[in-house]
Structure 1
Amino acid sequence: MYKRTLVTAILAAAFSVPSLADINADLQNICTIVKNNDKSELRKKMKKVRDDYNLKLGDVYEGISCEGLSLIRYAMLNSADDAGEYMVKSMSRSDLQKTEKDGSTVEQWAEANGHLKSATGLALVDRLNAN
């Protein structure tokens, strides 16, 4: 009896926790969505991730790279301001202030690369300076 209960508990736990492969599959085309500036599809994708995995954009942001860039940097580089502004507004200020792999923040990168005056850059500055 004890073994059956233990096996049932282990199987239940294994199938109730979504696997890393599942979330990777769900986020597979997020770079294309951002590049195409498809805010609606990005919103749907992030809602699915939130509903299925109880994760927000800030929780998965660091693990996503599009051509070597973070999602917001990639949005700025591709003039995808609708998607970029959505991401900026969806993330916490503390997540937006984190240094990225190259040692600079999104704001520092945007300023150094001439993207701070874009709609995404302006939304980023507004978000970081909000009280």
Structure 2
Amino acid sequence: MKFFASILASFLVVMTLSYSPAVKSADVGALLAGICDNVAADNKGRFRKKLKEAGVKLRDIYDGISCGGQNLVRHAIKTGSAKTGAYIVKRMPASHFAGSGDAEWATGNGFADSPIVTAIAER
């Protein structure tokens, strides 16, 4: 009986030590669900927190996110989210904005005086 108990205990210890939690890739979608709302509310702190909790970099997910059919920068310009929009511009590579047309879009839609457009021009 002691032999059986020791084998069972050993088995439980090995199973406990070898257990690894499932990859949290499904949780990334849940963590980033409110990202458009955070941009629209100009809540830079919560926006950064969502990215950090998800363990992703903005430049890695930027092309895959659209808010109302627009990219994050255009959404920030349209909603007047200066702090969060400037943060997004700073986190993206300067080469991205050379061909994105975001500044031209803003000028063409009456947002030329936006601080985000100024941040894009400084890059």
Q: What is the letter of the counterpart of residue 68 of structure 2?
A: E
8 Å contact from structure 1 (residues 58, 95) kept in 2: no
Percent sequence identity is 37
Q: Please report how far the alpha carbon of residue 18 of structure 1 lies from its aligned counterpart in structure 2 after TM superposition.
A: 3.9
Structure showing greater radius of gyration is: 2
Match for residue 13 of structure 2?
none
Unaligned runs of 5+ in 1: 1-10, 100-104
User: How do 1:1-131 and structure 2 match up within 5 A?
Assistant: 15=22, 17-19=23-25, 21-49=26-54, 52=55, 55-99=56-100, 105-127=101-123
Q: What is the letter of the counterpart of residue 84 of structure 1?
A: G
Give the TM-score taking structure 1 as reference length. 0.70
CA distance in 2, matches of 1:95, 1:57: 13
CA root-mean-square deviation: 2.0
Unaligned runs of 5+ in 2: 1-18
TM-aligned CA distance change 1:68 to 1:41, over 3 Å: same
CA distance in 2, matches of 1:113, 1:60: 26
CA distance in 2, matches of 1:44, 1:72: 18
